[in-house]
Structure 1
Amino acid sequence: MRLDSVLQLQALNEMMKGQLEDYPASKVMILGVAGGNGLEHIRRDRVEKVYGVDVNAAYLEAASTRHPNLAGVLECLRVDLREEPCRLPAAELVIANLLVEYIGCSCFQRLIGQVGPEYASCVLQINAEDGWVSDSPYLHAFDVLEAVHHDLDGKALEKTMLAIGYRVIQRTERGLPNGKKFLRMDFRRP
């Protein structure tokens, strides 16, 4: 994701900075936190709790290790979002970047219903014609995800969120060098 021909890691990092700065939230949940990309943008003077959620324990350990300055603020939760959404605490802002494509809109809808945030911000990957995985030496590392990945264009997510009272308040696209795009969609519950 970091390769110059891909630049996804860098783009997601910048987008998460915006997600964290755009909304007044003292409790933030990051679904699919992985190794903690973007957590360096957490401002301790604004945020009292960050829940980093992932199914992979090694990713959670990496996120915690990479950000010792967030001790007492960052709480890593190992949760299978498709099986255990009831284990999620309340938060005012939920961030889910490159996640909805794997868990599906209806699962995401249930998660948002459980957490009850005022704001939800997602980044979706809009794919080029050559597929959802960027050409790189690591191409085949994603083969196992083929069974759970779903292409989304944003319309299905918007419809799903509207059904539970969340309206789109921001929509921005960012082009990537490989012809793909990131679509950031932010929602608010009135």
Structure 2
Amino acid sequence: MLNNTITIPQTFKVTHEQFQQIAAVNRDLRLERSATGELIVMPPTGSETGNRNLDISGQLRLWNRQTKLGIAFDSSSGFQLLNGADRSPDASWVKLERWQTLTPKQQEGFAPLCPDFVVELRSKSDNMEPLREKMREYMANGASLGWLIDRKNKKVEIYRQSQDVEILDNPSTLSGKDVLPEFVLDLTDVW
């Protein structure tokens, strides 16, 4: 019988190449890597959060399929950010012209870019501050728009380049404005 557990020492650091190898042989694990090389094992979300995340990704995919302005991704997609971190937003999107500058090999692996748009959906087990740190990291690495959706408190934190974070209380929709033209996320089923 195989042992499917993984124990990682607190100070364990990995390179991007090692991270790719670990992720390749542990496809059932949700992994990220910080800019300083710390391996982050993320527990799976509950079924309810997974369903809400699918709804967000589905709405983004449907809009993108109609507009063909870029490439949409779900939470299983990894990106190598400019600061060296390997991150997997809950949903994300990259402008088509940026995506097309990548080689097929780069597109197949952890794409070496930060998405233009990212979404993080807070699950019941998530603390807000680590999620806010990820959102700030995305912005520092080139994201144009980010939504941190806090289902627990029915709030959304909106991150934009060179702007203060905007906080919305219980919005029914979110607009992609000029980053995602005409994209409106319906939050009815997310809440």
Give the TM-score range, shorter chain.
Answer: 0.3 to 0.5
Q: TM-score under structure 1 normalisation?
A: 0.36
Between the two structures, name the one with larger relative contact order (CA 8 Å, sep ≥ 6). 1
Greater Cα radius of gyration, structure 1 or 2: 2
TM-score by structure 2 length? 0.36
Could you say which structure has the higher helix fraction?
A: 1
